[in-house]
Amino acid sequence: MRLGLKRYILGDRQTIAGTVYGTILVLSVIAAGARSFEHHLWRLDALAATSAVVFWIAHVYSHGLGESLKVGRRLNLAEFRAIARREYSIVLAAVGPVAAITLGAAGVVKGAFALRLAFAIGVTTLAAQGVRYARLERLSRTETAITVALNLVFGLSIVAVEVFVAH
């Protein structure tokens, strides 16, 4: 497997934050919109995908501003692209859940199953990022279990707050 493709699939130290953020974002959109759009899955699909892209752009822009101030000059194109590549994990995190909703919208699977599948993919992604973090930090099995549990608790708590606020 080429190093670039492997990095996008398995991630690296720089992409864990974006993957966790993107996963929480897409789960929040799906969970908050599931009831309203359960019979209009194409709309929910578009909303989730568009949200990921819009928030990626916002992250690239805001990190670009911050980095520009940090280095005391405007960023060049290569520096800006590096930020965009690093933050692209936000969009990549949405691919699995959005694909699941697409299957429901296209009638390949039932809508309710598509929503559960999308949520399961997101929860699995949060758990996997906890494991990734623990491996990169060389944590013990106990520390890994705690890290995964905390990542799930924090991530799903944020999703729950979003659902509560949206309804």
- Residue 145: give the domain boundaries: 15-166
Answer yes or no: is 10 within a domain. Answer: no
Nearest one of 70, 102, 95 to 83, comparing CA atoms:
70
Q: What is the pTM of this model?
A: 0.90
Rounded mean pLDDT of the chain? 92
Least confident of 66-70, 106-110, 142-146, 162-166: 162-166
Answer yes or no: is 4 within a domain. Answer: no
Share of the chain above pLDDT 70, in %: 93
Q: Residue 138: which pLDDT band, with cuts at 50, 70 and 90?
A: very high
pLDDT tens string 42-94: 999 999 999 999 999 999 999 999 999 999 999 999 999 999 998 999 999 99
Give me the count of residues in the chain.
167
Answer yes or no: is 134 within a domain. Answer: yes
Number of domains the chain is built from: 1
Query: What's the DSSP call for residue 139?
Result: -
- By CB atoms closer than 10 A (0-12, 13-18, 19+), residue 43 is middle
Answer yes or no: is 6 within a domain. Answer: no
Nearest one of 30, 38, 24, 80 to 57, comparing CA atoms:
80
Answer yes or no: is 55 within a domain. Answer: yes
- Encoded amino acid at 165, one letter: V
CB 90 within 8 A of CB 110: no
pLDDT tens string 122-132: 999 999 999 99
CB 147 within 8 A of CB 133: yes
Answer yes or no: is 132 within a domain. Answer: yes
Answer yes or no: is 1 within a domain. Answer: no
Q: Residue 107: which pLDDT band, with cuts at 50, 70 and 90?
A: very high
Answer yes or no: is 80 within a domain. Answer: yes
Whether 27 has a pLDDT exceeding 60, the answer reads yes
Question: Alpha-carbon distance 26 to 102, whole Å?
Answer: 14
Which pLDDT does position 12 carry in this prediction? 72
| Residue whose token pair is 């623990």 | 134
Whether 38 has a pLDDT exceeding 90, the answer reads no
